[in-house]
Amino acid sequence: MSFRIAIAGKGGVGKSTIAALLIRALHERSGKVIMAVDADPNSNLGEKLGMKVEHTIGELREDLLKNADNIPAGQSKQEYVELQMKLATVEGEGIDLLTMGRQEGPGCYCFINNILRTFLDMAMDEYDYVVIDNEAGMEHLSRRTTKRMDRLMIVADPTKVGLETALRIKSLASSMGVEVGATALIVNQIKAPLGPELRGIIEKGNFDRTFTLPFDVEVEEFAIRGRSLLELHGSDTLYLQVKELVATLVR
């Protein structure tokens, strides 16, 4: 059974950056191929990992809705979906990436989503480690991706709004019935010590663990230039701290 990590947070807090660095650290630590799932409609995890995405599950979903009666002869819907999911998986050096893509348009997707979840769960269990980069609304965890997470890591910036949003995301996950082994708050992009008001908000969140990560000029430069974080020097300060985080939170 795979060890599953969900990463969530509002836009602009460095969530996908942390996800990419965590995926890299997991691969280097375990020597295993990591399954990365980009479940944020604003998909950019592939760019952070230097992997080109040509097909998404969102496109597959729309294709199934429009052409459900035109599946090749001799193939069931389940077989067709399984094949298309494999074709949508980008294979890299130690990382396989599956991008969920756009949200649903008008129409009934219940049957399609049930098939997708079944095969996504089966695909996940072929890997030792799975990292899912979620949107703030946690939509994929509740309906389309999976209902089991060994770790839920919520990324926030060091602001009142950012931390209060992180607390709401944690509450939202609980209300959706997502099974979570442990929660972690990651306060990212810190440039100065946190004041008492922000520390008070963190305490109210009752996370199992809390980590603080510094603002990193080199990582920011990589983002500006659109460079893969897999090329980041192994001695980079932020990356070293993400490696420590992985060693603490992952079995």
Helix 237-249 to helix 15-30 angle (10° resolution) is: 70
- Among 22-26, 176-180, 239-243, where is mean pLDDT lowest? 176-180
Domain at 50, CATH number:
3.40.50.300
Q: What percent of the chain has pLDDT over 90?
A: 57
The total number of structural domains that make up the chain: 1
Average pLDDT over residues 171-193: 89
Which residue segment(s) compose the domain that 170 sits in? 3-54+92-102+127-249
Cα–Cα distance, 8 to 40 (Å, whole number): 9
Residue 108 lies in a domain: no
Structure tokens at 172: 């939202």
Average pLDDT for the chain: 87
Q: Are 1 and 128 in contact (CB under 8 A)?
A: no
134 DSSP β-pair partners: 39
36 DSSP β-pair partners: 97, 131
Neighbouring CB atoms inside 10 A of 29's CB total 13
List, edge to edge, every strand of the sheet that includes 95-99.
90-91, 95-99, 34-39, 129-134, 3-8, 148-156, 179-190, 209-214
Structure tokens at 215: 């603002």
Residue 122 lies in a domain: no
Average pLDDT over residues 206-228: 96
pLDDT band at 50 (very low <50, low <70, confident <90, very high): very high
Residue 111 lies in a domain: no
State pLDDT tens for residues 115-151.
667 777 788 889 999 999 987 666 655 555 566 789 9
State pLDDT tens for residues 13-48.
999 999 999 999 999 999 999 999 998 878 899 999
